[in-house]
Amino acid sequence: MRAPNDGPFADPAGTWNKRFAGEDFLFGTAPNEWLREHAALWQPTQRVLCVADGEGRNSVWLARRGLQVDAFDISEVAVAKARRLADTQAAQVNFAVAGIDDYAWPVAAFDGVAAIFVQFADPALRDRMFAHIVRSLKPGGLLVLQGYTPRQLEYRTGGPPVLSHLYTEPMLREALADLDIIELRDYEAEVTEGSGHRGHSALIGLVARRR
């Protein structure tokens, strides 16, 4: 029987460096749709953090909207590609190579946090990540989060095929009880995000505010 820490979750940097090794952008260069729909909640010059930002599609797009953007990811290959994407689009992003557990999370620093498809996290890592996110938001700051629900196990068009990593509405309400939920939507949609997320998908989107 497989131990929970076997497989792709045992060496996240190595696993993701291999996934990002190609010339293409695995999840494309356009921003995630849930983020695009909700980014107007932040005003230009406000400070936003992109958690596990991958190849930079979300951070670069937010920076081009006039936001001050910090971003980190555990994969140095991804962050190198993100830096190149920012250069080609003349966008300023403060990138770092770091994992959830070793990022230098500032406290009450961000007007927003974007956590888009961060379901690499098992329940224990997810608890630590959500605690960091909540503490890093200023009072009034907004979390914009996108993930997959358990129905995604039938579709297999993206995301980890591991039930405990997926989100449900009650789970997010409980895990993020320190935030006021502004919007929480369980829905299905066609997703076209590079070759990594493609096809009919069972999604969940959340917007929540720190008190």
| Interface with ligand SAM (CB under 6 A) | 12, 16, 27, 32, 52-54, 57-58, 73-75, 78, 99-100, 116-117, 120
Three-class secondary structure of residue 172 per DSSP: helix
Query: 189 pairs with which residues across the strands?
Result: 201
Residue 107: CB minimum distance to ligand SAM, A = 19
* CB closer to ligand SAM, 126 vs 210: 126
Q: What minimum distance in Å lies between the beta carbon of 20 and ligand SAM?
A: 7
Nearer to ligand SAM, 58 or 149 (CB): 58
| Residue 64 tokens, joined | 């081009």
CA dihedral 109, 30, 149, 3 (to 10 degrees): -80
Least Å distance, CB 208 to ligand SAM, is 18
Give the nearer residue to ligand SAM in terms of CB position, either 132 or 151.
Answer: 132
Task: Give min distance, CB of 196 to ligand SAM, in A.
Answer: 7
- Closest approach of Cβ 90 to ligand SAM, in Å? 20
Distance CA 39, CA 62 (A): 8
C-alpha distances in Å from residue 196, one per residue of 25, 62, 149, 157, 205: 9, 21, 17, 8, 18
As a dihedral over the C-alpha atoms of residue 124, residue 129, residue 135, residue 137, rounded to 10 degrees, the angle is -150
Comparison of 26 and 179: residue with beta carbon closer to ligand SAM: 26
Please identify the residue of the shown chain whose CB is closest to the bound ligand SAM: 54
How far apart CA 53 and CA 115 sit, in angstroms, is 8
Instruction: Output the smallest distance, CB 132 to ligand SAM, in A.
Output: 11
* Beta strands, E only, the chain: 47-51, 68-73, 93-97, 110-116, 137-148, 179-193, 197-210
Q: 113 or 208, CB closer to ligand SAM?
A: 113
Nearer to ligand SAM, 53 or 111 (CB): 53
